[in-house]
């Protein structure tokens, strides 16, 4: 009779542990800063996918089309890196459980 209560208590403890792990992962994601430096353009994007810094070398100052292409490419790469790091952190926090399918 009490065995089931013990199982439920253990499960509740595991749920709390997972919730704490996910909360910590969310904080870690917010602390991410992804820097991509290619072709004379450096971009820094944070875990909220907000651009924090852009640095452009003078080599692109007169070639607007190349400047735009490299900037877009670097921003896309930085954001994709954040997505990948975020997914890894959340997967580790949830023990591999796909929270998107569970919650969504």
Is the pLDDT assigned to residue 3 strictly greater than 70?
A: no
pLDDT at 96 over 80: no
For the chain, the average pLDDT equals 87
Domains of the chain, residue spans = 2-103
CA atoms of 16 and 23, how far apart (whole Å) = 10
- CA distance linking residue 14 with residue 19, whole number of Å: 9
CB 70 within 8 A of CB 60: yes
- Per-residue pLDDT reduced to its tens digit, 43-89: 999 999 999 999 988 776 678 888 899 999 999 999 999 999 999 99
User: Any idea which fold 2-103 has?
Assistant: Ybab; Chain: A; (3.30.1310)
The CA distance from 5 to 101, in Å, is 28
């Amino acid at each position: 009779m009490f065995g089931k209560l013990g199982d439920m208590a253990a499960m509740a403890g595991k749920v709390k542990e997972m919730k704490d792990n996910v909360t910590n992962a969310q904080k870690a994601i917010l602390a991410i800063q992804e820097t991509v430096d290619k072709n004379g353009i450096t971009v820094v994007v944070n875990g909220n996918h907000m651009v924090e810094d852009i640095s452009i070398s003078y080599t692109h100052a007169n070639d607007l089309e190349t400047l735009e292409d490299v900037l877009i490419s670097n921003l896309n790469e930085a954001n994709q890196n954040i997505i990948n790091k975020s997914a890894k952190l959340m997967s580790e926090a949830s023990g591999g459980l796909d929270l998107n399918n569970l919650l969504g």
